[in-house]
Amino acid sequence: MRVSKLLLPTLREVPSDAEIMSHRLMLRAGYIRKMATGIYSYLPLGLRSVRKIEQIVREEMDRAGAQELLMPALLPAEAYQASGRWEVFGDNMFKLKDRNDRDFCLGPTHEELFTQTVINEVRSYKEYPMTLYQIQTKYRDEARPRFGLMRGREFVMKDAYSFDRDEAGLDESYKKMYDAYCRIFTRLGLDFTIVDADSGAMGGSGSQEFMVKSPVGEDGIAYCDACGYAANYEKAVCIPQKKEYPQGELELTKVETPDVHTIEELVGFFETEPYMFAKTILYKADDKYIAAMVRGDREINEVKLKNLVGCVDDLELAEPFMVRELTHAEVGFAGPIGLEIEVYADNEVAEMKNFIIGANETGYHFSNVNIGRDFTPNHIADIRVIETGDACPKCGQPIKTAQGIEVGHIFKLGTKYSDALGLTYTDESGEAKVVVMGCYGIGVTRCLAAAIEQSYDDNGMVLPVAVAPYQAIVIPVNTKEEAQVQMAEEIYKTLQENGIEVLLDDRSERVGVKFKDADLIGVPVRIVVGKKCGEGIVEFKKRTDAESQDMTAEDATNAVISYIKENL
Ligand code: ATP
Ligand code: MG
């Protein structure tokens, strides 16, 4: 492709709502343009990268024996109503009506439709195991669309679904997808970590996520270098940490604590350590209110809590007026003593002695509190967020933590959808059985954002060869010099003949502009044809190198070809 003909609308400035580098660079390099919040068009370069990711995903799905099909994105409501997800998705689903007033939605994920397809089309149990997939645009009216392609409202996902006769079959199908995912993310050049993930309050016997560690990732992951344990925050098991508390049971004391609200203020007031406090936080869980307690220096993990409570809708902080009504005090003085709602205490709270809590009275706390004597939680469980330095639940060594971008998710669904929609089969002995399912997603467009986040520098993207829209670029320094143009054209042609996806920057721009653009859009390797072309010498430089090397035109051409082949 000649750069003079390429739609390459690079930008110097980007809007301030583009906060993270992948978003900024994709706008600057003319990969994408925003059409509405969380909705983007893909310009030629962006689309080429997306197509490449799709192709790698497709090849590995096919290699794993999965079959590609394509569902509509505009879907009738019935299947989602039958599974209950019409309500569960709630505002996250784009819902609409047709001219006859029938309900439709734009598909956020397709478990129901694939299950329905198998119910309709599979004739015999002998057709199982079967894995079907599609690469398709998904729609989710996300509460916080942001970060460009990272969290869009319209995005491309590969979703696959496996159908097996029994759990053992599911285990095998799941393993195949696990292996395929490892191959896909390796080929994409992503440095990924596989973590155990939460499989939700209902159903599902196992789930793992593929994460790319990055400070801009929205998921917390805990991992142990000593034994290889890795889990996301929702799933990571917290081992209670031992602390020294005053011995015996001291006398419960009500202490006046005027204008003291936060843990920091309390620590200052009582001149003690944060672990001497237990904080009590009130939540609305579906239509009831509950209280949750963790040690003062810990955070509540709302997913763990939600699963424990078994609530279906969102678990939300209780409204301030309800906190006042339930505690008879201003916000900031809640405590378990005398509270008439269920109390969920973290495992660590159960180990505390002679500690401090809110007194459910404005301006007062209790000190020397002891569980059993002063109050008894209704539930004691792991409901906190794991932290750096916590003991690894597998080997006891200190845990490390990082933020991660979830690029893929594999999930043993079990019979959740086959039960709900009636996907059964009759086996050899004439017995009716329920089909066992798995589902497997990859965020195709999010993978592009992750690849950029993983590697960029001051000049722009440093893309893996497999993901870059073009693999190489040839730049004549001065397009008025016939010899330079001639040699650049020849190298361009040879590279094309060798299957390299190459750009020729034939614009009559200053060479500095050409270098800037090539770096910005992340071309993995370049050849510059300049003054030494009379001696047959050109410059060869990888995007990751600091300096270029002089080589003969032939050597440089071969170096490009072998570099690209080695990195695909
Ligand atoms: P998240 O926790 O990030 O909201 P999810 O767990 O809801 O994602 P899944 O239903 O597991 O997402 O979807 C499969 C994959 O699709 C995810 O692993 C992710 O890579 C991608 N994905 C999900 N939501 C979005 C989005 N809003 N924009 C881009 N990619 C997304
Ligand atoms: Mg997920």
The ligand whose atoms approach the alpha carbon of 147 most closely is 1
424 alpha carbon to ligand 1 midpoint, in Å?
29
148 alpha carbon to ligand 2 midpoint, in Å?
18
Q: pLDDT tens digit string along 281-299?
A: 999 998 899 999 999 999 9
Query: Of the residues 177, 405, 409, which should be mutated to test ligand 1's pocket, given the most ligand atoms within 8 Å of the CB?
Result: 409
**Sign of the dihedral defined by the CA atoms of residues 216, 221, 225, 229, in that order:** negative
313 or 549: which leads in pLDDT: 549
Name which residue sits closest to atom 2 of ligand 1, judged by CA: 406
Ligand 1 near 409 CB (within 6 A): yes
SS3 state of residue 266:
helix
Ligand 1 near 217 CB (within 6 A): no
In the block, tokens 């440095």 appear at 191
Instruction: Give the pLDDT score at 263.
Output: 87
| Beta strand pairing call for 472-476 and 502-504 | parallel
Q: pLDDT tens digit string along 110-165?
A: 999 999 999 999 989 999 999 999 999 999 999 999 999 999 999 999 999 999 99
Quick one: which atom of ligand 1 is closest to the CA of 407?
A: 20
Instruction: Give the pLDDT score at 134.
Output: 98
537: Cα within 13 Å, side-chain hemisphere: 7
Instruction: Give the pLDDT score at 203.
Output: 56
Ligand 1 near 447 CB (within 6 A): no
Task: Please provide the distance, in angstroms rounded to a whole number, between the alpha carbons at the two ends of the chain.
Answer: 20
Quick one: which atom of ligand 1 is closest to the CA of 152?
A: 28
DSSP conformation letters of 182-214: HHHHHHTT--EEEEE----SSS-SEEEEEEEE-
Whether residue 201 is predicted with pLDDT greater than 60 in this model: the reply is no
406 alpha carbon to ligand 1 midpoint, in Å?
7
DSSP conformation letters of 327-346: HSS-TT---STT--SEEEEE
Q: pLDDT tens digit string along 467-502?
A: 999 999 999 999 999 999 999 999 999 999 999 999
Q: pLDDT tens digit string along 214-252?
A: 999 999 999 999 999 999 999 999 999 999 999 999 999
Ligand 1 near 38 CB (within 6 A): no
| Beta strand pairing call for 549-552 and 537-542 | antiparallel
Ligand 1 near 142 CB (within 6 A): yes
The residues near 551 (Cβ < 8 Å, ≥ 6 apart) are 537, 538, 539, 540, 559
Alpha carbons 250 and 552: distance in angstroms, whole number: 85
How many CB atoms sit inside 10 A of residue 156's CB? 23
197 alpha carbon to ligand 2 midpoint, in Å?
8
The residues near 440 (Cβ < 8 Å, ≥ 6 apart) are 133, 159, 160, 161, 162, 177, 181, 408, 409, 410, 411
Quick one: which atom of ligand 1 is closest to the CA of 210?
A: 18
**Sign of the dihedral defined by the CA atoms of residues 380, 384, 389, 390, in that order:** positive
Cα 2 to the center of its chain, rounded Å: 36
Whether residue 262 is predicted with pLDDT greater than 90 in this model: the reply is no
Quick one: which atom of ligand 1 is closest to the CA of 218?
A: 3
520 alpha carbon to ligand 1 midpoint, in Å?
27
Ligand 1 near 403 CB (within 6 A): no
Instruction: Give the pLDDT score at 154.
Output: 98
Ligand 1 near 406 CB (within 6 A): yes
The dihedrals phi and psi of 251, each to the nearest 5 degrees, come to: -75, 130
33 alpha carbon to ligand 2 midpoint, in Å?
26
Alpha carbons 27 and 9: distance in angstroms, whole number: 9
| Overall average pLDDT of the 16-44 stretch | 96
Alpha carbons 439 and 177: distance in angstroms, whole number: 9
| Overall average pLDDT of the 30-36 stretch | 97
Sheet with 537-542, side-by-side order of all strands: 502-504, 472-476, 525-529, 537-542, 549-552
Alpha carbons 162 and 61: distance in angstroms, whole number: 12
Alpha carbons 446 and 156: distance in angstroms, whole number: 8
Please report which confidence band the pLDDT of residue 79 belongs to, taking 50, 70 and 90 as the band edges.
confident
- Percent of residues, the chain, with pLDDT higher than 90: 93
Joined together, the tokens standing for residue 345 give 């205490």
Joined together, the tokens standing for residue 213 give 């560690």
Name which residue sits closest to atom 18 of ligand 1, judged by CA: 408
Query: Nearest CA to 151 among 211, 200, 217, 107?
Result: 217
In the block, tokens 């393993």 appear at 175
In the block, tokens 């995007």 appear at 543
Ligand 1 near 407 CB (within 6 A): yes
47 alpha carbon to ligand 2 midpoint, in Å?
24
The pTM assigned to this predicted structure is: 0.92
The ligand whose atoms approach the alpha carbon of 212 most closely is 1
Quick one: which atom of ligand 1 is closest to the CA of 108?
A: 10
Alpha carbons 96 and 539: distance in angstroms, whole number: 57
367 alpha carbon to ligand 1 midpoint, in Å?
45
Joined together, the tokens standing for residue 78 give 């019935």
Ligand 1 near 519 CB (within 6 A): no
In the block, tokens 């003319």 appear at 30
User: Over 49-88, what HEC string results?
Assistant: HHHHHHHHHHHHHHHCCCEECCCCCEEECHHHHHHCHHHH
Query: How far from 478 is each of 222, 405, 507, CA to CA, in Å?
Result: 53, 43, 9
Ligand 1 near 522 CB (within 6 A): no
Whether residue 448 is predicted with pLDDT greater than 70 in this model: the reply is yes
User: 178 exposed, middle or buried (CB, 10 Å; 0-12, 13-18, 19+)?
Assistant: middle
DSSP conformation letters of 545-567: -SS-EEEEHHHHHHHHHHHHHHT
Across the strands, what pairs with 61?
A: none
Instruction: Give the pLDDT score at 200.
Output: 64
> What b-and-e string marks burial along 361-384, b requiring 16 or more CB atoms within 10 Å of the CB?
bbebbbbbbbbeebbebeebebbb
Quick one: which atom of ligand 1 is closest to the CA of 151?
A: 28
How many CB atoms sit inside 10 A of residue 36's CB? 9
Whether residue 202 is predicted with pLDDT greater than 90 in this model: the reply is no
